[in-house]
Each structure stands twice: as structure tokens, then as C-alpha cells.
A = this chain, B = another copy of it.
Amino acid sequence: MRQSGRPTIKDLASRAGVSKTAVSFAFNSPERISKETYQKIMDIAKELGYVPDPVARGLARRKTQCIGILLPQSIAYVFQNPYITELLRGVGEACEKENYSILVLSPLEGIFTHAVYNAVVDGVLILGAAGDSDVHTVCRQRGLPYVTIDAGFRDDCVNIGIDDEKAAYELAKLLLEAGHRRICVCMLQPLSDTLEASGSSETIRNRCKGIERAMDEYGVDKSQVEYMEIGTSCDSSLDAAHSLLSREKPPTGILCMADVQAYGFYHAVQELGLSIPRDLSIVTFDNLPQSNLLHPKPSAVNQPGFQKGCRAAEELFKLLSAQESQSTMLDCQILNIGSVAPPST
């Protein structure tokens, strides 16, 4: 028969004069058949170019050896943020140990959760979904185990993250303590075309809380701090930086939600012939390896991106094997390295 070109288990079986079962055993539990039959089967398999169909196998054993990673926006956008790459590296590290592959899922047709419906995976990692997102519902409908990353801690699902409130508090304090009052907080603007994701994530909410707590502590009026959504790309943050710094009274302190935003400011400062921290103080989240190139290295919350991804995947694997799993708040430190100084004006 062999209609679609590729040999099937049946072809191989009849060609080798054995049953389908024997062939199946040869590929899955060789110890259950005799050495000779095994050899014969494998020889003919090679000759025929037979290899078991992963999809059919997946259906039969109810396992695909893949986990999905659900991104909040399009791939082209999200991967402009090197922090995401760090996460992915961590996930990859854990997956390779378990012989799993990673399926990158992004919002299809603008719907955040859409990709989950059709994903051929055993479980899912979810990035930065709001607590009230319906992604939880979707996963449960499909019976998919899932772990969230940077999505806030709640009782009914496993989350890996840091103490964002505290981290943001410390960062804000760094600026306030140095005397800054004209402060701009750079938010992670969601893409406008993925409406569903535009509800601010739990992480962002927590960070804002932390910032406000610091301000209260220093008796600073909330109106003095400006919140600006500048997204997570070098380009958008460069633009934002230029527009901010060209003001008559530009901010003296910048609090970024991501290293990649800080890059824009470093770049702009350079282009304008200014200098950090003399003319502008800046603090940020992430502290990615590549930020070592910046001079001075930005004061930052040291986010363990790699570790986060790794840990999240590990917890997911526990769920997949029906083990207990629980949320983890990873440690992070504040590194005050040299991008903060008292305001000059």
C-alpha cells in the first residue's frame, strides 16, 4: 500500500515477516523480543527508511515530549527583549535534560490564548499573564498542566518569580535616597494589537506598589513621578529617551522595568553628549549578562532569568509526572553599581 510515500509499521512488519507488535517492541522496549528478531527488524527498518511517526505515537501514548511556552505578544516583538532569551535558555537547559522540546506559542490572530488550543504539547509555561487572564481556564479545559512565570503568586497555580514589590521598592529607594524627585518610571507597554494582554500583569502591579511605598516613605507626592509606557525594544526606548531628555526640565532619575529599556537611555545619553550618572541616574530590572558592556554598569535588580526559566520547566515536569509542585519566589539582589548619583540640577 504505502500510499503517502512513507513506510508504516505495517509495511515493516509484513516485510520482516513479523507482527506490528514486534516492530513496536523493537523501537520501544527491545528487551521484550529476541536479539535476532530485533536485528532483523532494525535492518529492514534502515533499509526501508522506516521511522515511527511521532504524531501517531503521541496519540497512542498520550505524550508528545514537548512543552509549550506561551508568550504574551508576537515572537518578533517579545524576543527584542533579551530577558526573554535568558528565560528561554533556562527552559531549554531543563528540557534537554528530560529530552523535551520547546514549542514557542504566540498569540494567534491576536488572541493570547488561541495558540494553546491547538498546541501539541504535554504542558505549558506561561509568561506574565495577568491573574485574571482566561489562560487559566483554557489550560484547564484542555487538561494541560501549566506553570506561570512572573505572573503573580496565587493559590491555585504554580508560579515562579521574584518579590517584585520589594525589588521595585529598593530600586525606587536608590533614586530617592540620592535626592531625585523628577523621576520617570518606564513601563512595559503591551502591543496595542493584542488587546487581551493589555491588562497590566500582576508583576507590573506589584512593582508599582513597591515604587509607591518608597515614595510614601520619602514623603514624595505621587504626582511627581511620571509613568511612561515605552515597551521593550532598543528602538522604542531610544525614542522615548530622546523625547524625555529634550524636555526643558527632563527627569533626573529613570526607573526601567527592563535592561533593554536602559539600553535606549544609555544610547541616547551618548548621542546627546551627556553622561551617566552625572546628567542622568538610572536604575533597572534584570541585570542581564550583556549589560556588562554598559559603562557604567547600571544599578539594577539582579533577576535570575536563566534560573527562572529552568526552575519553571522543572516544576512543570513535576506536574507532568504527577508529583507535587509549588510556587517559588527566587532570590534577587540589588546591585548599586554606579549609574546613580545625586541630581545635578
Contacts and interface: CB of A to CB of B under 8 A. Distances in A.
Given A51-B141, A88-B75, A101-B115, A263 B290 contact: yes
Contacts of A270: 295
A267 to B, nearest CB: 6
Contacts of A85: 79, 82, 85
A65 interface: yes
B96 A89 contact: no
A29 interface: no
A28 to B, nearest CB: 12
Contacts of A117: 51, 54
Nearest to A235: B289
Contacts of A91: 75
A132 interface: no
Given A51-B142, A59-B59, A92-B74, A104 B106 contact: no
Interface residues of A, number: 64
A143 B75 contact: no
A307 B295 CA distance: 31
Contact of A104 (B55, B80, B102, B289): B102
Contact of A234 (B66, B118, B290): B290
Contacts of A320: none
Contacts of A96: 74-76, 106, 108
A266 B293 contact: yes
A90 interface: yes
Contacts of A223: none
Interface in A143-183: 143
A180 to B, nearest CB: 24
A302 interface: no
A76 B94 CA distance: 10
Contact of A6 (B54, B92, B93, B143): B143
A15 interface: no
Contacts of A102: 75, 103-104
A289 B80 CA distance: 9
Contacts of A289: 80, 234-235
A82 B288 CA distance: 13
Given A75-B88, A79-B88, A141 B49 contact: yes
A89 B75 CA distance: 6
A105 interface: yes
A292 interface: yes
A65 B267 contact: no
21 contacts: A4-B143, A6-B143, A49-B140, A51-B141, A54-B119, A55-B120, A57-B118, A75-B96, A75-B102, A101-B103, A101-B104, A101-B115, A101-B118, A102-B103, A102-B104, A120-B120, A234-B292, A266-B293, A267-B292, A293-B293, A293-B294
Interface of A: 4-6, 49-51, 53-59, 62, 64-66, 68, 74-76, 79-80, 82, 85, 88-93, 95-96, 99, 101-106, 108-109, 115, 117-120, 140-143, 234-235, 263, 266-267, 270, 289-290, 292-295, 306
Sorted nearest first, the 10 A-B pairs with minimum C-beta distance are: A75-B92, A49-B141, A102-B104, A76-B89, A76-B93, A6-B143, A55-B58, A54-B120, A79-B89, A55-B59
